[in-house]
Every structure is written in C-alpha cells, then in structure tokens.
Amino acid sequence: MKSKLSLLIKKQERILYSVMTVVILAAAVLACNIPVQSLSGIDPDQNQKSTLLVKTAIVKTLTARVLGENEGNESEDLESGQSVADDFKATITPSFTPSPTFTQTATPKPKVHISENTNCRYGPAGVYDLIFTFMAGDLADLIGKDQEELYWYVQHQDQEDINCWLWGKYATPEGKTTDLPIFTPPPTPTPVVDFTITYKETGCGSVVVNIKNTGDLTLESWTATFKDKVTAESVTNSSNQFGSSAKIPVGKTNSIASAAFSTSPLGHKIKATIKVCTDDSQQGICVTKSAEFNAQ
C-alpha cells in the first residue's frame, strides 16, 4: 500500500512541475522580445497587437503540449490514487472497544446483633423511658452512637418509627461504625421516687406491710409511723434494711415491720405513714405515703 501511495504522490508532483514550467515559459515569452516578422504596410500599433497575439498563441501551444503529455497519466493516477486511498482508509479504520461498565456496590448499613433481650430507651441510661424491647437474635440498623460507644442509637428494621438507645453490652455492632454520627442524648429526666404499700400480716404485736419500688431509683432506707385507730396508739420505727435486703431495687418488693404495739392490733384498723429514701439514714430523695388497712 505504501508503494502505491508513493507512486501517486510522485505523479502528482510531476504534473505540478510541468504546470510550473509552462507558467515560467509563458512569463518569459510575454516578457522577452521574441523576434516576430513585422508585416509591411501595417500600422505600428496594430503590428504590436499582432506580436502580442503571436506570443499568446505560443504560450497556449506549450501549455497544451505539456498537459497533453500528462493527460493519459492523470487518468491513471486518479484511478490508482483512488485505489490507494481506499486501501489506506481500510487500513486506518479504527476498531472501537467499548469501555467496561463499572457497577457501584452499595455499602451495607451497619447493624447491631442483639444477644440478649434488651430494653431500648429514649436516652442512653436506665432513667429514660422505655420505648421498645428487642429480643435475643434481633438485628437493628445503626444510626448513631454516644461519645464513648457504650450505647448505640438504632432503628427497628421493620418499624421505622422506632428509634431508641441500646446498651452496648448486649448489642454487638456489625459493619463500619467509625463514621457514625455522635448523637447528643436528650436531657436526663428528673428521677422519680415512688412506691406502693400493701398489707402483709400481723404477728407478735406488730404489723408488717410490703413496699414495692415503682420509681426510678433504688430505695435504701425508711421510717414509718403506725397508728392503731381503735386504741389511738402510735408506734414509730426506722431502718436501713428492708426485710432481708438492704435495698429495694426498681420494680422489686420487700417488707417493713412496725414496732410492737402495747395491745395486739389484730382486727383493728391501722393507718401507716411511711417515708422511703434513696440513701441510708433517710437521706437523698425521700417520698412519704400513707395507707389504711385492717390488721388480720
């Protein structure tokens, strides 16, 4: 293919050279005084015009001769050039290879695997209200965390309206957690100290009642006044002990007993006024309640 292309270029150069030669000769003929026989009896101006016509005729003759010599070659060159051009096009036609398509894989959401039944609360502590209880084996989507990564802020996988804080002891993270936002917990609610009083028994001249801790804090001490409404006798007692236990944790129940009455209160109506506190010796947060019952 290269030899054909080279041949085409050489032939085109030869034609261009011939044409340039004709142009140069024409310029020479028109510029120089080529002797042309003057016609007698003709006006000098007319004779000058005749001389110019003769020179022009010479230029045309030279041009026709040169172009005539290349006439046959020109047709051959065009055909050969077309063939070479076609071959050249076929050779340089690029082949297009499509770029590979890249599929972006979505990064899975981090999750927590819950190993034990765990309360999920409004905030990262037991003093916050309970929102939901996850069961062992559940998965929850991770949304955020606290500063120390002790609690995880999660979303229920099937119920998007359940968002709450899980204690990390029973919630093991799965996936990347370093980019999770650190959430600021809501304000800690004011803890509530509360309890209920129910009659338990009467024996040995004293009255025993049950105390159930229905508040948010552990109960650690108490003082109580029991009044026999039949005899109007009152007895007072206090202790840092609740029955067999030193404390009553949240949600648990234990008992306290009155001091002994001088007369058996059995069958009498008793009014109990009891104060419970969150620290020993009736310190800390304290709450007082009263209840009436029949000593049976």
Mean pLDDT over residues 15-25, rounded?
59
Angle among Cα 250, 255, 261 to the nearest 5 degrees reads 150
Read off the pLDDT of residues 214-251 as tens digits, 9 standing for 90 and up: 998 999 999 999 999 999 999 999 999 998 889 999 99
Tokens of 127: 């003093």
Count of CB atoms situated within 10 Å of the CB of 36: 14
Q: How wide is the angle at C-alpha 23 spanned by C-alphas 18 and 27, nearest 5°?
A: 145
Higher-confidence position of 243 and 101: 243
More confident residue, 110 or 48: 110
Highest average pLDDT, of 28-37, 46-55, 79-88, comes from: 46-55
Out of 56-60, 176-180, 285-289, the most confident range is: 285-289
Distance of CA 107 to the CA centre of its chain: 8
Sheet strands (E) in 148-282:
151-156, 163-167, 171-174, 195-203, 206-213, 221-228, 234-239, 253-257, 269-279
Domain ranges of the chain: 2-84, 111-174, 195-294
Q: Encode pLDDT of 166-222 as tens digits.
A: 999 999 999 889 999 999 999 988 888 999 999 999 989 999 999 999 998 999 999
CATH topology of domain 195-294: Immunoglobulin-like (2.60.40)
Confidence (pTM): 0.44
- Mean pLDDT across the chain: 80
**Percentage of the residues of the chain whose pLDDT score is greater than 90:** 54
CATH tag for 111-174 (out of 2.30.30.40, 3.10.20.740, 1.10.10.10, 3.40.190.150): 2.30.30.40
Number of helices (H) and strands (E) in the chain: give both, helices first: 2, 14
